[in-house]
Amino acid sequence: MDWFFGTGETWQNLIIRITLGGVIFPHGAMKLLGWFGGQGVLGTIATFHHQWHIPAFLTLLVIAAESFGAIGLIIGFLTRLCAFGIICDMIGAIYLVHWDNGFFMNWFGKQHGEGFEYHLLVLGMALALLITGAGKWSVDRTIAAKTSRNVISL
């Protein structure tokens, strides 16, 4: 339990998790709520199934990672679990969608689609949070402090 919620009092992790959560959340809102030109849950499930043969259950995990996981990162709740979900999401996106398009994003409109450079940045940020925790001003830090005070030494 200490490892799962435990974290240092670092500004760096606060900055990483709020930035990552803030960038990932609109992607989740597109898939969950249909915001920002997205399709909502049913449209996303249909698209993922039709284009990439991804089952509905896995699509729901992607939606959860990008929406609820992003909110979890922003407030610093279940940070390691949220980071793990986003890591899985990005690995899947690279493998299924972006690998064939190469490294670079489609800056000049000459590629078939977007490359995976963005996804590598997200992976690096999420991995840092998975290893070191939420940092300053996080729900995880509060939980860790309360649970460590209630541990009885034998």
Residue 42 lies in a domain: yes
Residue 60 lies in a domain: yes
Could you report the per-residue pLDDT of 49-89, keeping only the tens digit for each? 999 999 999 999 999 999 999 999 999 999 999 999 999 99
Structural domain for 25, as ranges:
2-147
- What pLDDT band is residue 106 in, cutting at 50, 70 and 90? confident
Q: Give the angle subtended at the CA of 145 by the CAs of 144 and 147, to the nearest 5°.
A: 65
Residue 153 lies in a domain: no
Residue 75 lies in a domain: yes
Residues belonging to the chain:
154
> Quick count: other Cβ atoms within 10 Å of Cβ 64?
17
Residue 152 lies in a domain: no
- What pLDDT band is residue 152 in, cutting at 50, 70 and 90? very low
Tell me, rounded to whole angstroms, the distance of Cα 123 from its chain centroid.
9
Residue 154 lies in a domain: no
Q: Is 65 helix (H, G, I), strand (E, B) or coil?
A: helix
Could you report the per-residue pLDDT of 78-99, keeping only the tens digit for each? 999 999 999 999 999 999 999 9
Residue pair 103/115 in contact by the 8 Å Cβ criterion = yes
**Terminal CA-CA length for the chain:** 17
Residue 80 lies in a domain: yes
Indicate the number of domains in the chain. 1
User: Of 44-48, 58-62, 66-70, 133-137, where does mean pLDDT reach its minimum?
Assistant: 133-137
Could you report the per-residue pLDDT of 1-41, keeping only the tens digit for each? 677 888 888 899 999 999 999 999 999 999 999 999 999 99
Residue 77 lies in a domain: yes
